[in-house]
Amino acid sequence: MADLRNNFVGIKSPNPFWLASAPPTDKAYNVERAFKAGWGGVVWKTLGEEGPPVVNVNGPRYGAIWGADRRLLGLNNIELITDRDLYTNLREMKQVKMNWPDRALIASIMVPCEENAWKSILPLVEETGADGIELNFGCPHGMSERGMGAAVGQVPEYIEMVVRWCKQYTRMPVITKLTPNIADIRKPARAAKSGGTDAVSLINTINSITSVNLDTFSPEPSINGKGSHGGYCGPAVKPIALNMVAEIARDPETHGLPISGIGGITTWRDAAEFLVLGAGNVQVCTAAMTYGFKIVQEMISGLSDWMDAKGHRDLDDICGRAVPNVSDWQYLNLNYIAKAKIDQDSCIKCGRCHIACEDTSHQAITQFVDGVRRFEVMEDECVGCNLCVNVCPVQDCITMVGLEPGMLDERTGKTVDPNYANWTTHPNNPMARQAAE
Partner 1 sequence: MGTTETGILSGRLSPVEYEKNFSDLHPPLDGHEALVAADRCYFCYDAPCMTACPTSIDIPLFIRQISTGNPIGSANTIFDQNILGGMCARVCPTETLCEQACVRNEAEHRPVEIGRLQRYAADIAMRENRQFYQRAEPSGKSIAVIGAGPAGLACAHRLAVKGHDVTIYDAREKAGGLNEYGIATYKAVDDFAQAEVDYVLAIGGIEIRNRQMLGRDFSLADMLAKHDAVFLGLGLAGVNALRAEGETAEGVEDAVDFIAALRQSQTRADIAIGRRVVVLGGGMTAVDAAVQAKLLGAEEVTICYRRGKEHMNASEFEQDLAAAKGVTIRHWLQPKRIIARDGRVAGIELDYTTIADGRLTTTGETGVITADHVLKAIGQTFEADGLGIITLQSGRIVVDGEGRTSLDRVWAGGDCVLGGEDLTVSAVAQGRDAAESINHVLAAASQPAVAVA
Among 238, 240, 213, residue whose Cα is nearest residue 227: 213
Pairwise CA distance, residues 287 & 233, whole Å = 10
Pairwise CA distance, residues 18 & 6, whole Å = 10
40 binds ligand FMN (CB under 6 A): no
Pairwise CA distance, residues 186 & 263, whole Å = 17
Pairing of strands 11-13, 199-202: unpaired
Find out whether 248 and 278 touch, Cβ atoms under 8 Å: yes
Query: Which does residue 172 bind out of partner 1, ligand FMN, none, counting CB within 5 to 8 angstroms by kind?
Result: none
Among 97, 286, 364, 376, binds ligand FMN (CB under 6 A): 286
Query: Which does residue 77 bind out of partner 1, ligand FMN, none, counting CB within 5 to 8 angstroms by kind?
Result: ligand FMN
393 binds partner 1 (CB under 8 A): yes
Pairing of strands 132-136, 174-177: parallel
Nearer Cβ to partner 1, position 70 or 171?
70
Among 47, 18, 159, residue whose Cα is nearest residue 111: 47
In the chain, the amino acid numbered 207 is: N
Containing H/E element for 192?
Answer: helix 186-194
Q: What is each CA distance from 123 to 42, 118, 412, 427, in whole angstroms? A: 20, 9, 68, 62
Give, as one character, the DSSP assignment of residue 178. P
Query: Which does residue 352 bind out of ligand FMN, partner 1, none, counting CB within 5 to 8 angstroms by kind?
Result: partner 1
Among 98, 332, 348, 408, binds partner 1 (CB under 8 A): 348
We find the least distance from the C-beta atom of residue 271 to partner 1, in angstroms, to be 27
CB-hemisphere CA count at 13 Å for 45? 22
343 binds partner 1 (CB under 8 A): no
237 binds ligand FMN (CB under 6 A): yes
Per CB under 8 A, which of residues 57..116 are in contact with partner 1? 68-70
**For this structure, is 385 an active site residue?**
no
We find the least distance from the C-beta atom of residue 292 to partner 1, in angstroms, to be 22
Catalytic residue among 113, 139, 353, 397: 139
The beta strands (E) that lie in 167-296 are given as 174-177, 199-202, 206-208, 211-213, 218-220, 230-233, 259-262, 281-284
Pairwise CA distance, residues 199 & 145, whole Å = 26
Per-residue x/- track, 7-26, ligand FMN (CB under 6 A): -------------xxxx---
30 binds ligand FMN (CB under 6 A): no
Question: Which residues are CB-contacts of 417 (< 8 A; sequence separation ≥ 6)?
Answer: 335, 405
We find the least distance from the C-beta atom of residue 374 to partner 1, in angstroms, to be 12
Among 269, 313, 349, 426, binds partner 1 (CB under 8 A): 349
We find the least distance from the C-beta atom of residue 300 to ligand FMN, in angstroms, to be 17
45 binds ligand FMN (CB under 6 A): yes
Name the one range near ligand FMN by CB under 6 A: 34-42, 73-81, 99-107, 325-333: 73-81
Q: What is each CA distance from 312 to 226, 307, 338, in whole angstroms? A: 51, 5, 30
Nearer Cβ to ligand FMN, position 74 or 320?
74
Pairwise CA distance, residues 306 & 40, whole Å = 19
Among 88, 346, 363, 412, binds partner 1 (CB under 8 A): 346
Among 72, 81, 113, 319, binds ligand FMN (CB under 6 A): 81
163 binds ligand FMN (CB under 6 A): no
Q: DSSP 3-state assignment of 74?
A: strand
Find out whether 220 and 212 touch, Cβ atoms under 8 Å: yes
We find the least distance from the C-beta atom of residue 177 to ligand FMN, in angstroms, to be 5
Name the one range near partner 1 by CB under 8 A: 79-87, 245-253, 292-300, 351-359: 351-359
Give, as one character, the DSSP assignment of residue 222. P
| Interface residues toward ligand FMN, by CB under 6 A | 20-23, 45-46, 75, 77, 79, 81, 108, 136, 138-139, 177, 204-205, 233-234, 237, 262-265, 284-287
| Interface residues toward partner 1, by CB under 8 A | 68-70, 346-352, 354-355, 367, 373, 393-394
List the catalytic residues: 139
